[in-house]
């Protein structure tokens, strides 16, 4: 577990609860990224082995997988930031108004950085 330096105290749930959730999601995203690596590979243009429509379908699939990977990478960055906030003792506080983010909101998305009013 990451060290939690208690600069502020969150009421309902210990931030270390979120460390486990965040790390599990990070692990899952990394596994998904690795297993989908071949789907993002360049599509071969060999007309002998694949027809024109099949190539177009493969290129569309590749494009969708690249976009999905970009979303995965952005999510990994957000989750990494949340882990850093937990370690610093700043987790669960809105970046705009500095009020506590509702615990229910954090349970739904542990990487959220704004309270409902500021979002």
99-115 confidence digits (pLDDT tens)? 999 988 999 999 999 99
Cα-to-chain-centroid distance, residue 116: 20
pLDDT of residue 114: 94
State residue 59's pLDDT score. 80
pLDDT tier for residue 63 given thresholds of 50, 70 and 90: confident
More confident residue, 8 or 61: 61
Which pLDDT belongs to residue 9? 41
Q: What is the pLDDT of residues 85-100, one digit of tens each?
A: 999 988 999 999 999 9
Band (pLDDT 50/70/90 cuts) for residue 2 is: very low
Select from 6, 3, 9, 33 the least CA-distant residue to 100. Answer: 9
Long-range contacts of 33-36 (CB under 8 A, 24+ apart): 33/69, 33/72, 33/73, 36/65, 36/68, 36/69
User: 14-23, 42-51, 66-75 — which is least confidently predicted?
Assistant: 42-51
- Among candidates 56, 76, 64, which has minimal Cα distance to 39? 64
Q: Count of H helices and E strands in the chain?
A: 3, 0
Taking 80 as the threshold, does the pLDDT of residue 4 lie above it?
Answer: no
Tell me the average pLDDT across 17-31.
94
Nearest to 8 by CA among 106, 99, 118: 99
């Amino acid at each position: 577990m990451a060290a939690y330096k208690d600069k502020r105290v969150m009421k309902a749930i210990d931030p270390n609860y979120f460390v486990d959730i965040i790390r599990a999601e990070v692990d899952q995203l990394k596994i998904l990224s690795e297993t989908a690596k071949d789907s993002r590979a360049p599509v071969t243009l060999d007309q002998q082995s694949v027809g024109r429509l099949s190539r177009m379908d493969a290129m569309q699939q590749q494009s969708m997988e690249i976009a999905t990977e970009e979303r995965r990478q952005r999510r990994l960055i957000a989750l990494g930031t949340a882990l850093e906030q937990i370690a610093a003792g700043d987790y669960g506080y809105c970046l705009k108004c500095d009020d506590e983010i509702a615990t229910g909101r954090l349970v739904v998305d542990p990487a959220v950085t704004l309270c409902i009013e500021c979002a």
